[in-house]
Amino acid sequence: MFFYLSKYMDYNKEQTSIIECREKYQQVIAAAGSGKTSTMVALLERILDEKTEDPRSILVITFSRKAANEIRERLQIRVGEVELKIKTFHAYCLYAIQKFHPEYVSSTIKIIEDEEKEELFKEYFKREKFKVGGIPYKFLLEENFSLKKEFPEIYNDLEIEYKKYKALTKKLDFKDLIEIFVTGLRQNSDWTNNAKSEIQRIIVDEFQDTDMEQLEMIKLMDPSSLTVVGDDWQAIYGFRGASTIPFLKFKEFFSPCKVHFLERNYRSLSKIIQTSAIPISKNSMNIKKIVKPKREGKGFVGKILIETNSELAILTQKIQAIPDYKNKIKILCRSNFRISTYHQTNLDENCLMTIHKSKGLEFETVFVDLFSGWNLKIDEPKDTIEEERRILYVALSRAKNNLIILGNKIKSNDRIEDLFFSYFKRMKTLNLDCLPNVF
């Protein structure tokens, strides 16, 4: 039944093939701005309209509460209230443990939230400030900072203290939830078998950000139908333990598999798409895509050279001279610690965001900060360099109409941001005084 050919004419050929697919395993390789969320919602709508599956047997897994809410809200607009499960990996495991695990069914599981964990770590850093050589705890708590790599002894001490805290407070963290559920699956426990029997279809969003334990969880759940959606070019959570392997080798883990590509970009103009692909082209581990723009129009792509923080302050003044800049412009930085430098220039907070926070979003005009703040050297391991290039790709591909890259006038021989900025040597250089007239 080619349901969508008559009812919905807004989907392109690539999207329609995904919506209508009946294969047990399908992998959707979706370029940035290609409408993957609307395609997922349309797939769910088709399944629900056909009424051949119990909605309660469908599990949609996302990587954030925000993404789960977005899918839920879009689906509700299309089909009304439904009982299917739309949860993060951790939320689903919490649900399954609370409902089926014999040790937890009669008690409420207490979870350590991120803020509580951060406060515990903050107190540790204050107490042991001499061990970290006076490095600000805000920097140490950055998600992209590898405490385990830079201060292994402190990391081990902190892990011991954290485990003691969890035992004392009788709380679990998100990692514990996955571990408990996967252990039950490995042991073929009755309670996990009961949880498995509820689920017949699984759809996983942002599958490129899964780790090996989450991959094992999906394999052991062995659903009747599995669809994964993602983009290996946007795999940027290695610091959390995520791996590109589940996505790159999906066909080996789940066979036979139907592979689909979403390569039409509805977000960015052609020149921005071409520029965004430059860092990815230098990676060896990626799935090749030919991304095509849907939109036509005139935008601007260029770079600005900066030498000092004083010039950075001048830049922010020029930005504030642009009409409606608070709603039109976003400066994307590598870390919150880097953003604090912009705070000193009195630039509106709404104009600033980390690259990781920007994932999934889009902005009319994007400034990507390659002037400073990446805090890595060019002799990092290959996997690290490739992930940093993917992070740069995410930043560049947020832009709809205008893209400006900020770089250092004086190039060093060892900073990764200077290496990355050199990729754009042929790009037009913009004088600061001309900035307000560009848009």
87 and 223 inside one domain: yes
Report yes or no on 106 lying in a domain. Answer: no
Segment 309-332, tens digit of pLDDT: 999 999 999 999 888 999 999 999
183 and 35 inside one domain: yes
Q: What is the largest CA-CA distance in the chain?
A: 69
Q: What is the rounded average pLDDT of the residues 4-11?
A: 60
**High-pLDDT (> 90) share of the chain, %:** 79
Segment 248-294, tens digit of pLDDT: 999 999 999 999 999 999 999 999 999 999 999 999 989 999 999 99
Segment 83-101, tens digit of pLDDT: 999 999 999 999 999 999 9
CATH number, position 311: 3.40.50.300
Residue 404 and residue 414: Cα distance in Å, rounded? 23
46 and 194 inside one domain: yes
229 and 86 inside one domain: yes
Report yes or no on 7 lying in a domain. Answer: yes
pLDDT at 143: 62
Report yes or no on 105 lying in a domain. Answer: no
Please name the amino acid found at residue 325: Y
Count of structural domains, the chain: 3
pLDDT at 10: 80
424 and 316 inside one domain: yes
pLDDT band at 5 (very low <50, low <70, confident <90, very high): very low
Q: What is the rounded average pLDDT of the residues 355-379?
A: 95
Report yes or no on 140 lying in a domain. Answer: yes
Q: What is the rounded average pLDDT of the residues 172-179?
A: 95
pLDDT value at 395 more than 80: yes
pLDDT at 439: 72
Among 265, 295, 313, the domain-final residue is 265
pLDDT at 4: 44
pLDDT band at 149 (very low <50, low <70, confident <90, very high): confident
304 and 246 inside one domain: no
pLDDT at 240: 87
425 and 284 inside one domain: yes
62 and 136 inside one domain: no
261 and 275 inside one domain: no
Burial of residue 146, with CB atoms counted within 10 A of its CB: 0-12 exposed, 13-18 middle, 19 or more buried: middle
pLDDT value at 145 more than 70: no
β-sheet bridge partners, residue 14: none
pLDDT band at 114 (very low <50, low <70, confident <90, very high): confident
pLDDT at 3: 46
Domain that holds residue 140: 113-171
Report yes or no on 45 lying in a domain. Answer: yes
pLDDT value at 43 more than 80: yes
The sign of the CA dihedral 207, 117, 356, 37 is positive
188 and 330 inside one domain: no
205 and 242 inside one domain: yes
Q: What is the rounded average pLDDT of the residues 360-369?
A: 97
Residues whose CB is less than 8 angstroms from the CB of residue 311 and which lie 6 or more positions away in sequence, other chains included: 432
Among 154, 171, 188, the domain-final residue is 171
281 and 405 inside one domain: yes
pLDDT band at 1 (very low <50, low <70, confident <90, very high): very low
Mean pLDDT of the chain: 92
Report yes or no on 419 lying in a domain. Answer: yes
Segment 197-254, tens digit of pLDDT: 999 999 999 999 999 999 999 999 999 999 999 999 999 999 889 999 999 999 999 9
Among 151, 171, 191, the domain-final residue is 171
Report yes or no on 108 lying in a domain. Answer: no
Q: What is the rounded average pLDDT of the residues 396-400?
A: 98
Report yes or no on 299 lying in a domain. Answer: yes
